[in-house]
Amino acid sequence: MINRKFCVAPMLDWTDRHCRYFLRLISQHAVLYTEMLTTGAIIHGDSDYHLQMDAFEHPVALQLGGSNPQDLATACKMAAQYDYAEINLNCGCPSDRVQNGMFGAVMMKDAQITADCVAAMRDAVDLPITVKHRIGVDDYDSYEFLRDFVGTVAQSGCEVFLVHARKAWLKGLSPKQNREIPELNYATVYQLKKDFPQLDIIINGGVTTLEQSLEHLQHLDGVMVGREAYTNPYLLATVDQNIYGSTAPIKSRMEIAEEFLNYVDNELSKNTKLNAMTRHILGLFHGMPGARQFRRHISENAFKPSANIGVLTTALEKTSGAIA
């Protein structure tokens, strides 16, 4: 049983396996999501490269992008071999590339196709199939439209909806602008829970603090945090205690960094590039003395062909010296 009270959002080019391992060092209980993977990448590409993960990352949900029920079912079967806790269908991404593939936020315009996709995914694997979507898309932005979308998809057996509390504009706005310009409307998501009390409704969009998370949890089943969890990952340091009731001690930033060093050392022995890992930890000392020196040393050195673990240890020495 997955406890989705606190989730870290799927973020393209960010939430890869190295990022998830790092975040898992900070929180043992938060549910982590992969970056969106298309059915084509899994079926026709290097599926093991895309789907592999360390057992330490669990629980992890895989997010798929696609609109062909058969392809989604095939991708689900392939993914089921990798011990994911959940498979999530992306119905919220507004990028042009995704629109051209007829998936992402554009799928909200045809709830029945989305429901057919969910049904095929559920038939293919014995895993929770969830849907991440917006509160509307283009001029389809009435509450009745949203309610009918969720109701139709729920009839296919989907019991968990992760709702980005902004509508998506598919024309004229970039994906970045779609994260900022359409107004957040938390009340709409709260109403959705009232109308579908039997469903799990997880809210996403604009959440940057644990205080905000706890407020949302008064109304909903879970909270999903995106960019803030990446740029300020120590936000997760007290999630286990404050949201999941854990009695485990809270780790310091330096303890987390030292544990990540062991992971980096092991991955370097497998010829993983240093900057593929260190790019995800630049925000660890966010707001702390020495944070700038830490980021600068890694940014200026981790990409070099000769880069080794010494780059990270030196960066940590600069930070600890500044803090001291």
Q: Which of 91, 93, 117, 158 is catalytic?
A: 93
Residue 271 Rama label (left phi>0; alpha psi -120 to 50; beta): left
Which residue type occupies 113?
I
Q: What is the rounded distance in angstroms from the CA atom of residue 132 to the CA atom of residue 163?
A: 6
Structure tokens belonging to residue 200: 């799990």
* Three-class DSSP category at 222: strand
Cα distance between the two ends of the chain = 43
Residue where the block lists tokens 């996709």: 117
Q: What is the rounded distance in angstroms from the CA atom of residue 152 to the CA atom of residue 131?
A: 12
Which residue type occupies 27?
S
- Answer yes or no: 93 catalytic: yes
Which among 292, 276, 323, 287 has a CA at the least distance from the CA of 22?
276
Name the residues annotated as catalytic.
Answer: 93
